[in-house]
Chains A and B, each alone.
Chain A
Amino acid sequence: MGKPIQRIMVYIDGTESSVTAAQYAICLAASSGAELIACYIINTRAVEDLLRAKIFLRDEQLEYQHDMEADAERYLKYVGELAAKKGVSIIKQRGKGSVHKEIADAVEEHEVDLLVIGELSRIRSRRDEFYDEAERAMRTVPCSVLIVKDDDRVWQLYESLG
């Protein structure tokens, strides 16, 4: 029987919790020998919705998309540096579109065993309008999902890695 976790994907969205998730995923990859993929999805679907809703102007759409692409580069580079510091290799993947759908597609494409995401909102609204993309991905991906909590402990774990 093969190892239970052969390929880990960590979802990065520019939040502190997603960076913590990346640190934990690096620790997991280091200890299990699993391959590690960092995935950042540029939420162009939301930008298009905002343009349709007339909250965004056309040049705002372009500006925010450009900013989001720069954020993607910056955060993936940072996560790459975090992994390199601990001698863990990482594949960086960027996508654009509907976030939860792109995550699910990436999980299938890469045959991911474990999706790692940052801590979800502590407040669970019953309003349908407030849904978290990461939470939606958690519900729709075909693989197991690990939600990382306890920033301080994760930081200590990461720091203690050889």
Chain B
Amino acid sequence: MALIDLVTPEVIKIPLVSKDKPDVLRELVQVLKDAGLIEDYDAVLQAVQDREDKQSTGLEQGIAVPHGKTSAVSTLRFALGIAPEGIDFNSLDGQPTKLFFLLVAAPNQSGPHVEALADVAKLARSTAVCRALINAESAEEVADLLKGD
């Protein structure tokens, strides 16, 4: 399953209401729960938190890619949260994070998980796309931007 297949307005939250890192992770997992894509909220959050505890997934240029593996999901799950004002996510460059790409996969789906993460990495290299995502006004607009419409 390609990342693009996972992009729907239901998994996009703009703007995020959280103000700190723990709340952002909870809010992103809640997006998946509210979209009916996960049942075990706690297990998914724990998987993402476990990875975050090793090292922050906040990268440079205002982007974070929280991710994890858990048997609480049967297939790849994606959510995107956007915080135009930026949130302290303990990023590598010390700057506030505005785009949060969450990816959670089952342990036996490493291949699709890696390919989806690689798609996010490529997207993150496009400053213009990231800027457009941050300035979007709705989840529908964000979905259209990601699909290139």
Contacts and interface: CB of A to CB of B under 8 A. Distances in A.
Interface of A: 13-15, 42-43, 46-47, 49-50, 53-57, 64, 67-68, 70-71, 74, 120-123, 125-130, 132-133
Interface residues of B, number: 37
A121 B5 contact: yes
B135 interface: no
B64 to A, nearest CB: 10
Secondary structure type dominating chain B contacts: helix
A24 to B, nearest CB: 19
Contact of A74 (B54, B108, B120, B121): B108
Given A13-B112, A55-B57, A71-B108, A127 B148 contact: yes
A120 B124 CA distance: 23
B117 interface: yes
Contacts of A132: 2
A159 to B, nearest CB: 24
Contact of A46 (B4, B59, B109, B114): B114
Contacts of A122: 5
B104 to A, nearest CB: 14
Given A123-B147, A126-B149, 18 more contacts: A13-B112, A14-B109, A14-B110, A15-B112, A43-B114, A46-B114, A49-B118, A50-B121, A53-B124, A56-B117, A64-B110, A64-B113, A71-B110, A74-B108, A127-B4, A127-B129, A130-B119, A130-B122
